[in-house]
């Protein structure tokens, strides 16, 4: 990622040395997030939207909704599609073109957190079983990339959902044979939150900044719900975790999930 | 242009559907230096349009066969966020985006001193976060500011602004309904200081005189927008200077 | 475009020197087109077709029609799609593969000229409002490229349309519930014509040959109708025009449009 | 092959649906040197088929990994214009075009003296402007002439010609209805002088003897078509010679 | 194909020298296949399947079936699609990505052999004329590539078809308005077999191994039916055959087809 | 996870729908060296899953920009055969395959001694011939064996194994119905000797304690599978040794 090899070795040494002294290079505690801010309803053309900053990482999520057929094997629930775009605006390392493996992983992990966390009551997005359901697109646009996209994207997507309105009245003309009702708030069911940790040498850090990601050995993202239940996990990078480390991370993820959820609830 | 509809775009007082006078712009807000990672950036709100522009470079042009031995190339990627429009836009470039990227690139190449950076690419990314008619002009306006914010040597700033015709009246800066149901749209890229027109398109139906009147309206308005661009950059430089002063003071 | 750099510098000097003496390298006047010829109905498998030469530039346009659904927001008009292919047969610089930015621009500019010029009465291509309309494909095949594709392609497309027959009888079996009627001539409404100018140093030239395009600073294409109204414009290349130059070009485009329209009408 | 239909392809007089005798070709017209930009070109009308072929090269093969250190490659792109067929063909290569391009390329590589141009590519573009059965053979015939017109050193010209079976009769050069409702089609690429078969396909249902009879018919016909190819090239050289003479006379 | 140029020259000399002594490098006779084995019903998720070895060449074909609309011009027959994937597992020279010309040729030649040989009685795959037919996918996966893919793929596809069951009962729920009946064996009509020969210098060899393919001048594949009728042919590579050579190959192909067909029938 | 259905996944005796006990694996069969052309290969049958893995390399990484100056890259392509699943899968990578390829690659890169082969690529191809839940774990298990069979220097073998939760019971190695209608799935890549977890995913709904219990079940089972992997390699080496002895004897 961070280009030049010499630069990246110097960076690694610097981070290693700091950690040996028990410090992160930006002065944070190991279990401390950067400043997290959430602003909802920032895009009027979207049914719901949120812009999330985690430090300098800047992410914009928007919800669009339309009406269509359900999948044959799930006739009574709406359809949800999550897509994250690592647009080249956000980083010199992101390229134009079809989504690469990193974008696809990000999209799928964000999707899994929301889906398995039952963020939305998808049955309430069924209009007529087997015939017509709401189709929901969650699009996450990465605007400025300074590490920890997983948490920023998941948080922005959750906030956008929580602030969204299902635009039923707009579609009344198009579907005269169905009772779509009035516009209604997105039927939120749960607030799963993703929290990501990396391992650098033997140290576990939450919310890695880009420089930390660059030298990290292993990464684990854990999505938890308000009751502290685990809803999704994704390990990344080519290092390994011990079982004890994973237990430790899962426990901390619940704590951190609660902290971020508080910030989210205040933004709504 | 020209979807038919029983919609009155100019009222009996000569005012437009959003209350503007024919020669009146929508409100415009420009901010420079809004992103950390990019070498330069700008944010433009123009009516209900919300547009970000970022610049990276000069950097090595790749793939290599794009490199020019005697100058830099300016590569523009105009992109609409999926949620920026009424019906979700599928991610990835469509034919409209490719055309807009191309003409925006040509307009910017005119002002960037490309000869200073052989074999390089100056990459401009325009992201339309919310679209409401006139995004190519707003994007061009934003891109100019982002290039200047990136410290790219330029002959001048380019201003993007459109004019057109609705209900047989020549008007400045078409809004969404005017764009859909009006009679003509003329987007322009203009350099107020030199009077050069570096981007120009038109579609619809206009007499020569109407076209010329529209262009004159745009050229007038461009001077005002040019002021906003410079003001945004001035604020940005002040902020940088202030930050640097604070840093020096912090050290002392 | 024209390959080798030394060659292109020599070419530039040659063109510049000629223009200083008030001459174009092929001896034409600044406002003079190369020889324009139009042959219609050259392809029997097409509903309409035309081959246009402008000097050595050689372009073939064909119209194909089928029947389908209208767009939801325009239920009472036919559908028109324009596509120009810069096939590698036509030039050593054209490559195989999906359309590049130049092909896309060409397609869109030709389309805009016809569409905004109301070349075809699209309402007459509606079979049943909101249900069935004629779908028209205008395909322009560039066979030999010696500059000024915009005018050649636009003229070929217009001529192909003007010579086309809507093949209603062919579709009778397929749509027994609709009255498609007999074959009928394409309902032509207007004859917009595109005329392209380039600026080389301070000189404005109509109908640039390839060598002239190669050294041109700026390009402007203007589509006008028989009443001299402007229907579409497209500026290209990275040079600029003054307002006076544009006024000059627009006025000349009307004249030139009339000249080309005369040639077109004689070919039909 | 073999769509079923109550259609009589051979009448009681043994004549075919378009009036031809079994061993009769459709009318063929060949012209060389029809395009200005290409290094060589040819136009073939073969019944209702209208086909252009153009040749560029030898030129540097790219992408580079295609280059062969000891010879040129011959790259063929067979392409159908969207309006060349009944239902509009979507632009771009489909699987059929890819296969035809491959076998045409193999057939031409046999006659081109590729060993003279290491690392080069000789690019052949075949555009089907109007299609009416037999385009691959007509395209191969045209491509041979275009290669010769480009001055590419060749061992010989290749002739493309098909034969097949309809209503249990072996016939030459299947027309459109025969192609759709017939029993077998055997496209062939043949070099009359050496007797080499460089392209051969077959689909349908034939006994060995029927197949051999069809191939013999094609080989006979190929000699005639070979004559047309050479005649087209002779006319082209005459024209060039005349132009040159006129130029010299003009100078004098 | 076989990489390094020096190696391939040594290989060529070795093969040439052997042939001059009347021998193939693996000791086979000119008209002799390598060991051919066929195992059917190896994949339970498929409607039919077969794994074919020809020497070290290892190919797996699977049949999948679904229900859909017929093509408008053939309303009373099922739809058959053949696809061969040269997956990179099978050879260092096969690459990931969309099918290249070689895969497409292979797919189309296998398809042509089955289709023109009337392997399946496609009319029996019509459920209701003009409305509903069986859609059949024949997918051939190349697992280990040691030459002569055409014969191995064609044989595997034929064996997979011959062992397939049309899963009518599975679709009963989905198409309540149609009588799909019970599961039934694939309606096999004929057993066309492909046999491939190459020419190396002046020698004609059947069933080329990879090393032989690498140095071959020309290739001819011939698909014949039990009555010795020719159903499909495909010539490949840039060498030429004389007419006599082709006559010779066609005659031998019938013999070889019979041999392979015997092996096939025993495997069912 | 979590499609709703009236289906009893654990019966009154605590047994699973296929008769297994909660901590019981499906039958697993591993064979090394099953393909001739690949540098290494393995075949795994795991319940009704049938999976082939092949390894090529170390070989030059291409395209070149992927090369790392100080180590090899491990490139994994996980692919499902079109006929491996109920509804035919379209050929080519889908988003799920891309993700599985990525995490499998990361897991294997941990054990391959990549530093020995700068600028190289070690390419691992996993083909799912028949799929029945748990293919990513079976594929990882097969890939490890194929790497060892290819003689690629490795720190250790990786074992892939999943656990999860169905009907509120923590179970090992989910079958197809359990995967469809269960409550959670936790695929893991584990190195029994070092205790390192190199692949980990989870989706569903579990308390922390359930998750930990599931992971412990997987870690236990991994030791058994590790034994199968080593046994497969032992047999393969024996066979190679036998073949070599025979060859030597044949020579004598």
Q: What is the pLDDT of residues E132-171, one digit of tens each?
A: 999 999 999 999 999 999 999 999 999 999 999 999 999 9
In a domain, D215, yes or no: yes
Pick the residue of E93, E230, E237 with the most D CBs within 10 A to test the interface with D by mutation: E230
Residue E93 at interface with chain D, using a CB cutoff of 8 Å: no
Rounded to the nearest 5°, which phi and psi values hold at B243? Answer: -60, -40
Q: Could you give the number of structural domains in chain F?
A: 1
What is the least distance, in Å, from the CA of A93 to any CA of chain B?
Answer: 11
Chain E residue numbers with beta carbons less than 8 Å from the beta carbon of F130 are 43-45
Local confidence band at A2 (pLDDT 50, 70, 90 cut-offs)? very low
**Neighbouring chains to A with at least 3 Cβ pairs closer than 8 Å:** B, F
Confidence at residue B159, expressed as pLDDT on a 0 to 100 scale = 98
Rounded to the nearest 5°, which phi and psi values hold at B216? Answer: -65, -40
Chain D residue with the nearest C-alpha to that of E101: D98
What is the least distance, in Å, from the CA of C78 to any CA of chain B?
Answer: 13
In a domain, D220, yes or no: yes
Asked whether the beta carbons of residue E230 and residue D194 sit closer than 8 angstroms, the reply is no
> Are 3 or more Cβ–Cβ pairs between B and A shorter than 8 Å?
yes
pLDDT at A1 over 50: no
Q: If residue D249 lies in a helix (H) or strand (E), which one and from where to where?
A: helix D208-251
Residue D86 at interface with chain C, using a CB cutoff of 8 Å: yes
Residue F112 at interface with chain A, using a CB cutoff of 8 Å: no
Q: Out of B52, B83, B86, name the one closest to residue A89 (CB).
A: B52
pLDDT digits (tens, 9 = 90+) for C157-194: 999 999 999 999 999 999 999 999 999 999 999 999 99
Chain E residue with the nearest C-alpha to that of F80: E141
In a domain, C234, yes or no: yes
Asked whether the beta carbons of residue C83 and residue D37 sit closer than 8 angstroms, the reply is no
Mean pLDDT of A238-252: 98
In a domain, F8, yes or no: no
Average pLDDT over chain A reads: 95
What is the least distance, in Å, from the CA of F49 to any CA of chain A?
Answer: 23
Residue E107 at interface with chain D, using a CB cutoff of 8 Å: yes
Region at C248 (left for phi over 0; alpha for psi -120 to 50; beta for the rest): alpha
What is the least distance, in Å, from the CA of D216 to any CA of chain C?
Answer: 32
Q: Out of E101, E116, E228, name the one closest to residue D1 (CB).
A: E116
Instruction: Give the A window 217-256 contacts with F, CB below 8 Å.
Output: 220, 228-243, 246-247, 250-251, 254
Chain E residue numbers with beta carbons less than 8 Å from the beta carbon of F143 are none
Distance CA E196, CA E257 (A): 10
> Are 3 or more Cβ–Cβ pairs between B and E shorter than 8 Å?
no
Chain C residue numbers with beta carbons less than 8 Å from the beta carbon of B1 are 116
Confidence at residue C2, expressed as pLDDT on a 0 to 100 scale = 39
Strands E57-68 and C230-236: unpaired
Helix B208-251 and helix C243-267, axial crossing angle in degrees, nearest 10: 140
Chain E residue with the nearest C-alpha to that of D200: E235
Q: Out of E62, E63, E143, name the one closest to residue F52 (CB).
A: E143
Chain A residue numbers with beta carbons less than 8 Å from the beta carbon of F211 are 230, 250
Distances (CA, A) of E154 to C145, D208, E140, E264: 45, 21, 9, 11
Q: Out of E116, E237, E251, name the one closest to residue D204 (CB).
A: E116
Chain D residue numbers with beta carbons less than 8 Å from the beta carbon of C62 are 81-84
The full length of chain A comes to: 268
Give me the sheet containing D40-46, strands edge to edge: D28-32, D40-46, D49-60, D120-130, D73-80
Mean pLDDT of B45-58: 98
What is the least distance, in Å, from the CA of B61 to any CA of chain A?
Answer: 12
In a domain, E90, yes or no: yes
In a domain, B7, yes or no: no
| Domain boundaries, position D203 | 28-251
ipTM of the complex: 0.95
Average pLDDT over chain E reads: 95
pLDDT at E2 over 50: no
Asked whether the beta carbons of residue B85 and residue A45 sit closer than 8 angstroms, the reply is yes
In a domain, D127, yes or no: yes
Chain E residue numbers with beta carbons less than 8 Å from the beta carbon of F131 are 45
Distance CA F140, CA F101 (A): 10
Asked whether the beta carbons of residue A231 and residue F196 sit closer than 8 angstroms, the reply is no
Residue B79's Cβ-side half-sphere holds a number of Cα atoms within 13 Å equal to 25
Asked whether the beta carbons of residue A64 and residue B87 sit closer than 8 angstroms, the reply is yes
> Are 3 or more Cβ–Cβ pairs between F and C shorter than 8 Å?
no
Confidence at residue F218, expressed as pLDDT on a 0 to 100 scale = 98
Residue C154 at interface with chain B, using a CB cutoff of 8 Å: no
pLDDT digits (tens, 9 = 90+) for C61-115: 999 999 999 999 899 999 999 999 999 999 999 999 999 999 999 999 999 999 9
In a domain, E4, yes or no: no
What is the least distance, in Å, from the CA of A209 to any CA of chain B?
Answer: 13
Residue E28 at interface with chain D, using a CB cutoff of 8 Å: no
Query: Following DSSP, what letter does each residue of F63-129 receive, concatenated?
Result: SGGG-BTTB-EEEEEEEE-TTSSSSPPPSS--HHHHHHHHHHHHHHHHHB-GGGSTTEEEEEEEEEE
The fraction of chain C above a pLDDT of 70, given in percent, is 98
Mean pLDDT of C190-215: 97
In a domain, C49, yes or no: yes
Residue F206 at interface with chain A, using a CB cutoff of 8 Å: yes
pLDDT digits (tens, 9 = 90+) for A180-201: 999 999 999 999 999 999 999 9
Distances (CA, A) of F194 to E217, F155, F159, F198, F215: 55, 10, 12, 11, 15
What is the least distance, in Å, from the CA of D218 to any CA of chain C?
Answer: 27
In a domain, C2, yes or no: no
The enclosing domain of C115 has a CATH number of 3.30.230.70
The full length of chain C comes to: 268
Q: What is the DSSP letter of B241?
A: H
Q: Out of C56, C90, C141, name the one closest to residue D81 (CB).
A: C141
In a domain, A51, yes or no: yes
Confidence at residue D7, expressed as pLDDT on a 0 to 100 scale = 82
Rounded-to-10 torsion of CA E59, E60, E64, E70: 10
Residue F92 at interface with chain A, using a CB cutoff of 8 Å: no
Distance CA B221, CA B2 (A): 25
Output A147 or B4, whichever has higher pLDDT. Answer: A147
* E199 and D164 Cβ atoms separated by less than 8 Å: no
Confidence at residue C6, expressed as pLDDT on a 0 to 100 scale = 75
Residue F224 at interface with chain E, using a CB cutoff of 8 Å: no
Chain A residue numbers with beta carbons less than 8 Å from the beta carbon of B86 are 45
Asked whether the beta carbons of residue F127 and residue E141 sit closer than 8 angstroms, the reply is yes
Pick the residue of E143, E146, E167 with the most F CBs within 10 A to test the interface with F by mutation: E143
Q: What is the DSSP letter of D24?
A: P
Region at C217 (left for phi over 0; alpha for psi -120 to 50; beta for the rest): alpha
In a domain, B32, yes or no: yes
In a domain, E80, yes or no: yes
Distance CA E7, CA D243 (A): 52
The fraction of chain A above a pLDDT of 90, given in percent, is 95
Asked whether the beta carbons of residue C83 and residue D91 sit closer than 8 angstroms, the reply is yes
Which of C110, C168, C119 is closest to C139 using CA atoms? C110
Distance CA D36, CA D56 (A): 12
How many interface pairs between A and B have CB atoms less than 8 angstroms apart? 81
Q: Where are the beta strands (DSSP E) in B97-195?
A: 120-130, 159-166, 169-172, 184-191
What is the least distance, in Å, from the CA of E116 to any CA of chain D?
Answer: 5
Instruction: Give the D window 140-199 contacts with C, CB below 8 Å.
Output: none
Local confidence band at C1 (pLDDT 50, 70, 90 cut-offs)? very low
The tokens of E89 are what? 């597992």
Mean pLDDT of C43-52: 98
Confidence at residue C9, expressed as pLDDT on a 0 to 100 scale = 87
Other Cβ atoms within 10 Å of E202 Cβ, number: 9
The enclosing domain of F92 has a CATH number of 3.30.230.70
Global confidence as pTM: 0.96
pLDDT beneath 50: ranges in chain D = none
How many interface pairs between E and F have CB atoms less than 8 angstroms apart? 82
Q: What is the pLDDT along chain F (252 residues), one digit of tens a residue?
A: 666 667 889 999 999 999 999 999 999 999 999 999 999 999 999 999 999 999 999 999 988 889 999 999 999 999 999 999 999 999 999 999 999 999 999 999 999 999 999 999 999 999 999 999 999 999 999 999 999 999 999 999 999 999 999 999 999 999 999 999 999 999 999 999 999 999 999 999 999 999 999 999 999 999 999 999 999 999 999 999 998 887 777 655
Q: Could you give the number of structural domains in chain E?
A: 1
Q: If residue D202 lies in a helix (H) or strand (E), which one and from where to where?
A: strand D196-206
| Domain boundaries, position C183 | 9-267
Residue E25 at interface with chain F, using a CB cutoff of 8 Å: no
What is the least distance, in Å, from the CA of B182 to any CA of chain C?
Answer: 12
Asked whether the beta carbons of residue E230 and residue D198 sit closer than 8 angstroms, the reply is no
* D95 and C75 Cβ atoms separated by less than 8 Å: no
pLDDT digits (tens, 9 = 90+) for A42-90: 999 999 999 999 999 999 999 999 999 999 989 999 999 999 999 999 9
What is the least distance, in Å, from the CA of A146 to any CA of chain B?
Answer: 8
């Amino acid at each position: 990622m961070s280009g030049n090899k010499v630069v990246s070795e110097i960076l690694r040494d610097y981070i290693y040395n700091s950690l040996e002294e028990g410090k992160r290079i930006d002065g944070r505690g190991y279990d401390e997030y950067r400043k997290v801010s959430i602003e909802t309803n920032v895009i009027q053309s979207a049914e719901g939207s949120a812009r999330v900053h985690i430090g300098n990482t800047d992410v914009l999520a928007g919800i669009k909704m339309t009406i269509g057929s359900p999948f044959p094997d799930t006739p009574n629930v709406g359809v949800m599609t999550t897509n994250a775009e690592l647009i080249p605006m956000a980083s010199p390392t992101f390229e134009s073109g079809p989504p690469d493996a990193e974008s696809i992983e990000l999209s799928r992990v964000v999707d899994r957190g929301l889906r398995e966390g039952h963020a939305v009551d998808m049955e309430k997005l069924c209009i007529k079983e087997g015939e017509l359901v709401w189709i929901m697109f969650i699009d996450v646009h990465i605007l400025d990339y300074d590490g920890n996209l997983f948490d920023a994207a998941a948080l922005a997507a959750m906030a956008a959902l929580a602030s969204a309105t299902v635009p039923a009245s707009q579609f009344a003309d198009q579907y005269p044979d169905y009772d779509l009702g009035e516009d209604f708030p997105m039927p939120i069911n749960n607030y799963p939150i993703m929290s990501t940790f990396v391992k650098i040498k033997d140290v576990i850090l939450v919310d890695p900044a880009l420089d930390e990601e660059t030298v990290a050995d292993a990464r684990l993202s854990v999505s938890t719900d308000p009751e502290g239940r685990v809803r999704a996990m994704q390990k990344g990078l080519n290092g390994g975790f011990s079982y004890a480390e994973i237990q430790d991370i899962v426990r901390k993820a619940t704590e951190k999930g609660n902290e971020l959820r508080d910030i989210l609830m205040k933004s709504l | 242009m020209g979807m038919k509809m029983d919609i009155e775009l100019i009222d009996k007082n000569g005012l437009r559907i959003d209350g503007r006078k024919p020669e009146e712009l929508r409100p415009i807000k420009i901010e420079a230096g809004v992103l950390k990672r990019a070498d330069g950036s700008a944010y433009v709100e123009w009516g209900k349009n919300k547009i970000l522009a970022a610049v990276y470079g000069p950097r090595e042009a790749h793939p290599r066969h794009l490199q020019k031995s005697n100058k830099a190339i300016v590569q523009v990627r105009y992109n609409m966020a999926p949620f920026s429009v009424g019906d979700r836009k599928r991610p990835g470039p469509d034919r409209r985006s490719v055309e807009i990227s191309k003409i925006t690139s040509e307009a910017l190449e005119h002002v960037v001193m490309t000869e200073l950076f052989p074999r390089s690419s100056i990459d401009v990314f325009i992201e339309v976060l919310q679209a409401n008619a006139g995004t190519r002009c707003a994007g061009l306006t934003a891109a100019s500011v982002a290039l200047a914010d990136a410290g790219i040597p330029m002959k001048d700033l380019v201003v993007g602004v459109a004019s057109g015709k609705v209900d047989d009246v020549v008007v400045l800066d078409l809004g969404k309904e005017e764009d859909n149901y009006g009679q003509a749209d003329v987007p322009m890229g203009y350099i107020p200081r030199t009077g050069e027109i570096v981007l120009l398109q038109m579609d619809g139906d206009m007499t020569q005189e109407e076209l010329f009147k529209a262009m004159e309206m745009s050229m007038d308005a461009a001077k005002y927008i040019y002021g906003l661009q410079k003001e945004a950059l001035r604020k940005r430089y002040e902020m940088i200077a202030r930050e640097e002063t604070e840093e020096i003071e912090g050290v002392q």
